[in-house]
Amino acid sequence: MNVQTQIDTTSPRTTEHFDALIAGAGISGVGAAYHLTTQCPGTSFVALEAQKTFGGTWTTHRYPGIRSDSDLHTFGYRFKPWTSAPIASAAEILKYMGDVIEENDLAPHIRYQHTITSAKWSSEENLWTIEATRTDTGEKRRFTTNFFWMCQGYYRHTEGYTPEWQDMAKFKGPIVHPQKWPEDLDYKNKRVVVIGSGATAATLIPAMANDCAHITMLQRSPTYFRTGRNAIEIAEELRKLQVDETWIHEITRRKILFDQDAFTRKTFAEPEAAKKDLLSAVEAYLGKDYDIATHFTPKYRPWRQRIAFIPDGDLFQGIKSGKASVVTDEIDRFTEKGIMLKSGKELEADIIVTATGFHLSANGDIEFAIDGKPLDFADTVTYRGMMFTGVPNLVWVFGYFRASWTLRVDLVADFVCRLLTHMKATGAKKVTPQLRPEDHNMPLLPWIDPENFNPGYMMRGMHLLPKRGEKPEWQHNQDYWAEKDEFPNIDLKDKAFVYG
């Protein structure tokens, strides 16, 4: 008799309990685990991760050249020095995260191949019941936890977003989304068209250009890029002086953040001047005769969408060499041979890459319920982009787009650890954000103001996200420089927190 077939995989047989449960082992989940261990020693916790290993974004994306688009001094954690060039490959980032796990003995806390499917809160027990499915065996697992720390990222890892264009099926070659890069995709001496002009396209194109017959970036509209040497001068200087890496990390972070603050302010106060600076840097690579007005001059103000950093101008060097080119046009339909553009020109290709973005997945595709009632996060109002009205003992990590995501991982973790310590000291079993009497007439708005920040995946998924209020405490304001001072001063006795 086959013993395997006797195991009932449809309902969990045992329940494990942890003080805290972390969803995901990407850079946010691993950061949360580190902070719990160091700031709340004695707290039992587990991180459940759907993938086979840690890393999140940096394991699921495997396209050529995959690298960060912001510097690792700030994309890295504040507690673990980054000692290499600031723009890093996925492999380097994974090595760094692996070191954090090893140095802090976090591995025993992480369970891989566990996809969380549901999270149900019971006010009677003051507990979340979390159900997960093992991706290898299909087995159901049940956990209970006092505190649910959502570090599941913001997009669906299983599939990317590809718009439906007419006649896609007619195209004879492969159509590839960067989130599902086939390991054996042979692009040597092939003509490749990359649809999109975001950070992914800007990474793929220089990485593939030398091997392809030709690679074309096909964009509907241009994007801003920043460019410069893949090095931070102050870090290099300090290293020459043999300063300790911990100091170099901190000083370099401060310098980068100082410069980024100045740049961000300039984009708001003097958008035209900021735009001129960005475009002059592109012109320095491509020369005055290149049509920068058509291909690299966006219609929007700088910083309404993320600005990717192009190390050593490699994208522009590829264009200058003639191995890569940019076409700014719209897709009319696919053809057997490639793409027919609205201008009437046909762009021939052997391979088409759709670098067209993500499916927003705000809650990790987890089914939520509070006391038996299904929870729709769109019905809640966010407390500083990390907690939600009416949702007890839950924090959600949504990082920055205008600064490195991870800066917020550390800030939110400090807050959570302070909150857990406060609850332990006061004997509180639950904390639920709620609008205060003075907030009740506050207009409720979409999660993010499109005038402020408007990438496609956000606009497509805005209806799924919680609401934002007018006051700073009821919004995720994307301003690290304000939040770094505000977060440590959040008054845990504020009426926005209801304890029980």
Residues that bind ligand FAD (CB under 6 A): 23-29, 48-51, 56-57, 61, 68-70, 75, 115-116, 151-153, 157, 200, 364-366, 397, 399, 404-405
CA–CA distance, 475 with 489 (Å, rounded to integer)? 16
- Which residues are paired to 261 by β-bridges? none
User: For residues 127 and 105, what is the distance between their CA atoms, to the nearest angstrom?
Assistant: 27
Tokens, residue 44: 């039992």
Rounded to the nearest whole angstrom, what is the least distance from the CB of residue 260 to ligand FAD in the complex?
A: 12
Nearer to ligand FAD, 481 or 499 (CB): 481
We find the least distance from the C-beta atom of residue 407 to ligand FAD, in angstroms, to be 8
Minimal distance, residue 368 CB to ligand FAD, in Å = 11
Question: What's the min distance (Å) between Cβ of 475 and ligand FAD?
Answer: 19
Question: On the CB side of 13, how many CA atoms lie within 13 Å of its CA?
Answer: 4
- H or E element, residue 118: strand 114-122
- Nearer CB in complex with ligand FAD: 191/408: 408
Smallest separation (angstroms) from ligand FAD to the CB of 282: 20
- The smaller minimum CB distance to ligand FAD, of residues 259 and 270, is found at 259
- Which lies closer to ligand FAD via its Cβ, residue 48 or residue 282? 48
Least distance CB 122 / ligand FAD (angstroms): 20
Of 47 and 279, which CB lies nearer to ligand FAD in the complex structure?
Answer: 47
Cα pseudo-dihedral 194, 195, 200, 203, rounded to 10: 30
Nearer to ligand FAD, 50 or 176 (CB): 50
49 or 314: whose CB is closer to ligand FAD? 49
Q: How far is the CB of 397 from ligand FAD (least distance, A)?
A: 6
- The residue among 146 and 406 lying less far from ligand FAD, judged by its C-beta, is 406
Q: Which is nearer to ligand FAD, 134 or 301 (CB)?
A: 134
CA distance 255 to 234: 8
Spatial separation of the C-alpha atoms in residues 171 and 335, rounded to whole Å: 5
Q: How many CA atoms, within 13 angstroms, populate the side-chain half-sphere of residue 290?
A: 22
| CA atoms of 27 and 29, how far apart (whole Å) | 6
- Considering the complex, what minimum distance in angstroms separates the CB of residue 47 from ligand FAD? 9
Two structure tokens written together for 46? 């587990």
> Which one, 250 or 365, has the nearer CB to ligand FAD?
365
Neighbours of 138 (CB within 10 A): 10
Residue 288 burial class via C-beta count within 10 angstroms: exposed 0-12, middle 13-18, buried 19 and up:
exposed
CB 385 within 8 A of CB 475: yes
DSSP H or E stretch at residue 368:
strand 367-370
User: Which whole-number Å values give the CA distances from 327 to 174, 232, 272, 313, 382, in the listed order?
Assistant: 20, 33, 25, 19, 41
One DSSP character per residue, 297-317 reads: --SSPTTSS--EEEETTHHHH
Nearer to ligand FAD, 200 or 267 (CB): 200
Rounded least distance, CB 237 to ligand FAD, Å: 24
* Nearest distance, CB of residue 105 and ligand FAD, angstroms: 20
How far are the Cα atoms of 177, 179, 180, 199, 451 from residue 358, in angstroms, in the given order?
10, 9, 12, 12, 21
Give the shortest CB-93-to-ligand FAD separation in angstroms.
8
Q: Which residue type sits at 136?
A: D
CA-nearest of 323, 357, 329, 332 to 190 is 323
CB burial of 461-479 (b: ≥16 within 10 Å; e: otherwise) equals beeebbbbbeeebbbbbbe
